[in-house]
A and B are shown apart, each in its own frame.
Chain A
């Protein structure tokens, strides 16, 4: 097992794009080579070591044997773990936009908060956020028909708007509240929201959305029976009927 620790040299005022911070990119490189990987700050193309200190085991190893530890604040650093297929990225603070984009495997673990577009179009693997996630977690890029297709996202805190937009598979679990329109245009994924939300499942055609707390439900959902899950009562709905949808929406009742 190889561990590499990356620490920002200072607080960034201009955001950094660092899709090269990924176990797959590091696997075949020694520390010196990792230091010379490209990152962009604004419109300037520079080396990883210009902005970060890089320490750890020098010998290259397979991606699945690689752990990248990000120490300090990475909230201004975008695209970390993009397309990763294996290994671990462990973020001790918060992380910037587009973390775990198109991720296919491995673990992205974030102790703080995650900014918008967390795990956009994720295919597999697992993302865990101890704090909150921003908007469009597990969503699709603008205009794309599919967001997340597989894998697992777990957020202990709350999530922003458009959680799992255009979801095509995989599962998302939010401990707290979710913003407006979670699971919009859901085509087969699963979302669980521990708190409350607003207008879940707009235009959904398949999949399941469960809201433990309160939710304003669109009038285009058909109200069905009350069901019991793990001893709790949920009102079941089917929809979204504007799109002839066959999705399932469950909203908690009488838990208070």
Chain B
């Protein structure tokens, strides 16, 4: 396939809006190719979008669907010759996830939280999501085995468990959600700071985070730890964020990437002592990111309208349910986690929501280096992913932000700095924040860029970047981004002007990390006892079988000496 004459933004390869032809051969970017010619003359061309933090599959997504049948009334589309039926808005069905990502020009999305025990369900749903490539991060933050290894300061056993857990869950990376809090919630409590002790385990969140971060680097995993802070969603929590980030700053990375990726930073950049004096601390957080290079974040932008909050942070969801009097699902995941789901509505006229809206944008605009900030809405917690074009246009247009602020509570300019921020992102910034950076943060070498050998994932938009003024013509930009003119996935034209043309199955990435057999042997003694005493299932039935991942892509990692032998 040949893509002719596009204005290409491929920042990972130092291409910033150059007119050039692209070639795809056997599903990969190449220097030469034959075949179908796509005319992209003067149009915006970027690598396929990569979403590094989204909730698209697994038990909590399905719980969100079950508790909101009203949501499935929105966004219904009948089946067509190519597509199966679509339903839903905040919690779409599996098929709609694939079609909607592809229509926006996205070709990769990573599910951000899966307990090992429920990973089989996650993979069943991921396999049903058409077109896009996927992966799932595995939850370790309130896991009994993890906490015992941390308590015993047995780092090699912890690394062996992380490797075993990733293999059992067919997971891609280490996700940590409110570490220790999931366990405390089993007793109706929470951990209130990183130095609080987890009941019955004599460890602190700080120790859990440090242990897992070290194990993560010991195993040379492609992704860093992916952290949802303690105290998330609470006024005044920015101190917890800074404290946690500071813990990690001296760890040595095993790869050319960050030490920690902070999930949905917006929810952890809050000042004030209560919702009454709630205010933005985004500038403090942004200063920290500007001064340090060991951390990256995704925005977790909130938009007004309906959402469904879903997280392994069960005490947070209890708070949400009490606050909104909405439906609430609360779930215990045996020795691993707890979780919750609460449907949500964010209102323009509500000051707290308006400040939250501003915080996400402040973070993205105040952090100087776009490689450190990924554009997300923490789908569907802040807003469904179909609203990404709204977020991007807000980042690109000061007039649009001003017009929005004018409709919000009068206190917004006093409690946030957004109104005073002049910065408007350009196509290079956006291409980094939605393509190059998410791929680099996840450690996906063949994603997020268009160099030879990269995956043949390209999105072409009906927009002339050399002519359109993104600041003033934000409505045109939003419309163009919502529906790519062409989306190409692995060299196949999958979507043209919103019409899905083909639905190839996407691959699922998972990480197989090698560890010394002796460590695994020591670990298995612990695990066999836990399964015999506590788990509701047998150890033999625990791991996800390969049959659940017919399109798996295994990434090898592990201790360096072993990876050399292998």
Binding site for B on A (CB under 8 A): 141-145
CB distance from B308 to the nearest CB of A (A): 11
0 or 1 for each of B74-103: is its CB under 8 Å from A? (1 = yes): 000000000000000000000000000000
Among B42-73, those with CB < 8 Å from A are 67-71, 73
Among B311-355, those with CB < 8 Å from A are 327
CB distance from B271 to the nearest CB of A (A): 32
CB distance from B1 to the nearest CB of A (A): 37
Q: Which residue of A lies closest to B67 (CB)?
A: A143
Once bound together, how far apart are the Cα atoms of A143 and B306, in whole Å? Answer: 14
Binding site for A on B (CB under 8 A): 67-71, 73, 327
Q: Which residue of B lies closest to A205 (CB)?
A: B325
Once bound together, how far apart are the Cα atoms of A209 and B69, in whole Å? Answer: 27
CB distance from A118 to the nearest CB of B (A): 19
- Chain B residues with Cβ below 8 Å from A141 are 69-70, 73
| Most chain B beta-carbon contacts within 10 A, residue among A141, A142, A143, A145 | A143
- Chain A residues with Cβ below 8 Å from B69 are 141-143
8 more CB-based (< 8 A) A-B contacts, given A141-B69, A143-B69 = A141-B73, A142-B69, A142-B70, A143-B67, A143-B68, A143-B70, A143-B71, A145-B70
Main secondary structure, interface of B, reads: loop
- Chain A residues with Cβ below 8 Å from B70 are 141-145
Once bound together, how far apart are the Cα atoms of A143 and B68, in whole Å? Answer: 5
Main secondary structure, interface of A, reads: loop
- Chain B residues with Cβ below 8 Å from A144 are 70
Once bound together, how far apart are the Cα atoms of A51 and B71, in whole Å? Answer: 33
Once bound together, how far apart are the Cα atoms of A144 and B67, in whole Å? Answer: 10
Once bound together, how far apart are the Cα atoms of A199 and B70, in whole Å? Answer: 26
13 contacts between A and B (CB under 8 A): A141-B69, A141-B70, A141-B73, A142-B69, A142-B70, A143-B67, A143-B68, A143-B69, A143-B70, A143-B71, A143-B327, A144-B70, A145-B70
Once bound together, how far apart are the Cα atoms of A196 and B401, in whole Å? Answer: 57
- Chain A residues with Cβ below 8 Å from B67 are 143
CB distance from B328 to the nearest CB of A (A): 13
Q: Which residue of B lies closest to A142 (CB)?
A: B69
Once bound together, how far apart are the Cα atoms of A171 and B401, in whole Å? Answer: 43
| Most chain A beta-carbon contacts within 10 A, residue among B70, B71, B73 | B70
- Chain A residues with Cβ below 8 Å from B71 are 143
Once bound together, how far apart are the Cα atoms of A232 and B69, in whole Å? Answer: 43
Once bound together, how far apart are the Cα atoms of A141 and B70, in whole Å? Answer: 7
Q: Which residue of B lies closest to A144 (CB)?
A: B70
Once bound together, how far apart are the Cα atoms of A143 and B67, in whole Å? Answer: 7
Once bound together, how far apart are the Cα atoms of A3 and B495, in whole Å? Answer: 47
- Chain A residues with Cβ below 8 Å from B73 are 141
CB distance from B72 to the nearest CB of A (A): 8
- Chain B residues with Cβ below 8 Å from A143 are 67-71, 327
CB distance from B307 to the nearest CB of A (A): 15
Once bound together, how far apart are the Cα atoms of A143 and B65, in whole Å? Answer: 10
CB distance from B56 to the nearest CB of A (A): 20
Once bound together, how far apart are the Cα atoms of A142 and B69, in whole Å? Answer: 6
Once bound together, how far apart are the Cα atoms of A142 and B73, in whole Å? Answer: 10
Once bound together, how far apart are the Cα atoms of A144 and B345, in whole Å? Answer: 13
Once bound together, how far apart are the Cα atoms of A142 and B72, in whole Å? Answer: 10
- Chain B residues with Cβ below 8 Å from A142 are 69-70
CB distance from A185 to the nearest CB of B (A): 11
Q: Which residue of B lies closest to A141 (CB)?
A: B70
CB distance from B382 to the nearest CB of A (A): 21
Once bound together, how far apart are the Cα atoms of A141 and B73, in whole Å? Answer: 9
- Chain B residues with Cβ below 8 Å from A145 are 70
CB distance from B78 to the nearest CB of A (A): 10
CB distance from B71 to the nearest CB of A (A): 7
CB distance from A227 to the nearest CB of B (A): 30
Once bound together, how far apart are the Cα atoms of A142 and B67, in whole Å? Answer: 9
The 10 closest A-B pairs by CB, nearest first: A143-B70, A143-B69, A142-B69, A144-B70, A143-B68, A141-B70, A141-B73, A142-B70, A143-B67, A143-B71
Q: Which residue of B lies closest to A140 (CB)?
A: B70
Once bound together, how far apart are the Cα atoms of A145 and B70, in whole Å? Answer: 9
Once bound together, how far apart are the Cα atoms of A144 and B74, in whole Å? Answer: 12
Once bound together, how far apart are the Cα atoms of A145 and B71, in whole Å? Answer: 11
CB distance from B566 to the nearest CB of A (A): 50
Q: Which residue of B lies closest to A45 (CB)?
A: B78
Once bound together, how far apart are the Cα atoms of A256 and B70, in whole Å? Answer: 44
Once bound together, how far apart are the Cα atoms of A119 and B69, in whole Å? Answer: 19
Once bound together, how far apart are the Cα atoms of A144 and B70, in whole Å? Answer: 5
Once bound together, how far apart are the Cα atoms of A144 and B69, in whole Å? Answer: 8
CB distance from A82 to the nearest CB of B (A): 13
CB distance from B359 to the nearest CB of A (A): 27
Once bound together, how far apart are the Cα atoms of A137 and B520, in whole Å? Answer: 62
Once bound together, how far apart are the Cα atoms of A42 and B523, in whole Å? Answer: 58
CB distance from B109 to the nearest CB of A (A): 26
Q: Which residue of B lies closest to A244 (CB)?
A: B325
- Chain A residues with Cβ below 8 Å from B68 are 143
CB distance from A180 to the nearest CB of B (A): 21
Once bound together, how far apart are the Cα atoms of A142 and B70, in whole Å? Answer: 6
